[in-house]
Structure 1
């Protein structure tokens, strides 16, 4: 039987700075998850049964993140992202390299010209170098240093496989205000910030109902 653990094991030896290697490895996971959907349902059951996984799930006004599997030892994590109405984000990078696979819906994806993350940053210098429409069945891998932004259709659902954190912070840039700032991982969040994004059991069950109605699971 295929489990998250058996799919995770090959990822432990992957160089997460090598996007070619990460992309090849994670596509095998997406093939299993998007095919029979058994692992998606298994992950949702795990959230119900494991308070630690439930605590890792996050709810924002226009985005929900469900943590189906977490391996603290390697930093590998498998999530479902569910995009709400009006979802768009500012140009940003990530603390970790990740792969994504679209299960439902679509989003406009902009990847910007490389920036030096160790210098003073000006959002006015950002220029989109690659613009594409990520649709159902599409997979891609993004290096943790890459700056990108997404505008999603309501109800879009994606699987995300992320690797170990390569830094303790990530950059966010706002073209409208001309501001740029650093945000930090959960380990450095205040209790107030952590509480605001906490997902309730009731909201989680509502998401499961939506995923069922959409034939995602």
Structure 2
């Protein structure tokens, strides 16, 4: 936050040690084994959700870390803040759902676990992506489960699951995002009936990456919003 000093180096060192200890179960984890991922990530999500002092310090340290700032992404209806990027390929991050947020059915490049810190969203599951491609008839996608994820709820989603969400404004979720299992994922739009592939950072142009990268001002604005919501 502007005018707020970064956490002292002593705190940062201790917090990194805490993250190392908390995330030890993720070492050599099979991210295709959804039950094991759920078991390993639940304790991590609970630790940050229950210890808001720890969450506050690690998130407020983001502006002082050039690498983490480069990973922060801003979209018109969603902000993503990464507060730990592990060499093994997995990340810890916050998702901030902005007013007007709606989602299109899509799969993911990675398996992830989520814990809702504030707000809620309607979560729709459509089944596995076995036959999903750019020629998919979006109208044929069948919702198999519709539920409301609310503050305190958590779940783990395999990267092959197709899902979508419609969020209340300023819903915030804590994410353990696994390493990428594939180069691309598919997004489908029910309104237009079209579907298209989206690619990870390794296959993006510099222009595409720069377009979604958060500026320093946007990172500060996101932190102010989280503070106003009394989350950090």
1:83 paired residue among 97, 104, 113: 97
1:41 paired residue among 34, 56, 70: 56
Counterparts of 1:162 and 1:198, CA distance in 2? 18
Counterparts of 2:46 and 2:162, CA distance in 1? 27
Aligned to 2:146: 131
2:176 paired residue among 151, 157, 161: 161
Asked if the contact 2:105/2:164 (under 8 Å) is kept, the reply is yes
Aligned to 1:65: 80
Counterparts of 1:116 and 1:77, CA distance in 2? 26
Aligned to 2:128: 114
Q: Indicate whether 1:192 and 2:207 are aligned.
A: yes
Counterparts of 2:93 and 2:19, CA distance in 1? 12
Counterparts of 2:151 and 2:132, CA distance in 1? 36
Q: Residue deviations 1:35-59, cap 9 Å, x none?
A: 1113322322331221000000001
Counterparts of 1:192 and 1:216, CA distance in 2? 33
Aligned to 2:8: none
Asked if the contact 1:57/1:65 (under 8 Å) is kept, the reply is yes
Superposition CA RMSD, Å: 1.4
Counterparts of 2:131 and 2:19, CA distance in 1? 34
1:31 paired residue among 46, 67, 73: 46
2:225 paired residue among 186, 210, 216: 210
TM-score normalized with structure 1 length: 0.95
Match of 1:74, SS state, is coil
Asked if the contact 1:46/1:53 (under 8 Å) is kept, the reply is no
| Structure 1 portions without partners, runs of 5+ | none
Aligned to 1:148: 163
Counterparts of 2:198 and 2:34, CA distance in 1? 23
Number of residue pairs matched? 216
Q: Indicate whether 1:177 and 2:196 are aligned.
A: no
Asked if the contact 1:23/1:99 (under 8 Å) is kept, the reply is yes
| Structure 2 portions without partners, runs of 5+ | 1-13
TM-score normalized with structure 2 length: 0.89
Q: Residue deviations 1:96-149, cap 9 Å, x none?
A: 000000000000100003332466422122010000000000000000000000
2:114 paired residue among 100, 103, 106: 100
Counterparts of 1:173 and 1:61, CA distance in 2? 18
- 1:43–1:117 Cα change, 3 Å: farther
Match of 1:13, SS state, is coil
Counterparts of 2:116 and 2:127, CA distance in 1? 24
